[in-house]
Each structure stands twice: as structure tokens, then as C-alpha cells.
A = this chain, B = another copy of it.
Amino acid sequence: MSHPPVSVPHDHGACVHEALARAQTICDARGVKLTPLRGQVLEIVWRSHKPAGAYEVLDELQKVHKAARPPTVYRALEFLEAEGLIHRIESQNAYLGCIEAGAPHSSQFLICRGCGAAEEIADRELDAAIAVAAKRARFKAERKTVEISGLCARCT
């Protein structure tokens, strides 16, 4: 049940709905709590395929939760990232919903400077190439991040 490329039009409401349902299932299975607050933050992050900054999330969150403050958001984002439900896009200090939540995987993104969208690619071969490169340097890899920026098919 893999996600279609974000650059092709699709029913994004379904993206969001499925991501939330999936997150709920995962959290239940793990015995951790996807509280309403966390769910709202996850939903906000998922609203688009463009990475959302913490303060962008905060602005949105405050529309339904006036008391929200930066720590509120950062805690929720930290939880969601720890559970593998979102990824942090390091080159943008921003967050994006994970398309393969539940399956441990490295973070690989194609970030379009034209439309701003970021597409997660879960490329096994790339992942393997990274593992090899790390091994070659006798480095114990724990977290692997790939961020490729450029132009997506539609923006070329």
C-alpha cells in the first residue's frame, strides 16, 4: 500500500486519513499514546506534501488550540519522529509525514525547489549503498539521511 508520487495529482484527503488511521494502529500496537494533540499535529504535518516548519505547525495548531506554545509543538513532533510517523527534513528545519510508517527505514527525500514538495523515496538499493559506504569506513551507522534537492518531473 505504497504512496503514489506526490508530483501526480491524487486524493490527498485519503493520504491524510490513511496516515492518521495507520498511526493510530501503530501506536496502539506499541502501547504508546497518540493523544488528540499529537494527532492534530500529525494531521497538520500531513496536510500537504511540503515540509512544514515547527512554527507553521504552531500557527495551524493555535487555530484549534489557542493555548499551544512552541514546546507543545516540539514535544509532539519529537514524539511523532521517535515513533517513525514523520521525518525531519534537516536542510529545511521542517517536518513531513512518513509514507512508510511502522517499517524502520532511512530517510530519503527528493526536494523540489520549484514547487517546494518533498517526496520520500524508500529506495532499498540506495539504502544498501549507504550501508556499504559506512561499513567500508568501519562506521556504525545508526541514522541515515539523504536529501536530494533539485527539480521534480513537473517543474522541469
Interface residues, chain A, with chain B CB atoms under 8 Å away: 5, 90-91, 108, 110, 112-113, 119, 121, 123, 125-126, 128-130, 132-134, 136-153, 156
Contact = CB atoms under 8 A, between A and B. Distances in A.
Nearest to A113: B142
Given A90-B90, A133-B108, A133-B123, A147 B145 contact: yes
B139 A152 contact: yes
A156 B133 contact: no
A149 B139 CA distance: 9
Give 3 closest A-B pairs by Cβ, nearest first: A129-B129, A142-B150, A90-B90
Number of copies: 2
A128 B128 CA distance: 12
A113 B149 CA distance: 26
A143 to B, nearest CB: 5
B130 A146 contact: yes
Contacts of A123: 133, 136
Contacts of A130: 126, 129, 146, 148
B90 A110 contact: no
22 contacts: A91-B145, A110-B134, A112-B139, A119-B139, A121-B133, A123-B136, A126-B129, A128-B129, A130-B146, A133-B148, A134-B148, A137-B153, A138-B153, A139-B152, A140-B156, A142-B149, A142-B150, A143-B150, A144-B147, A145-B146, A145-B149, A146-B146
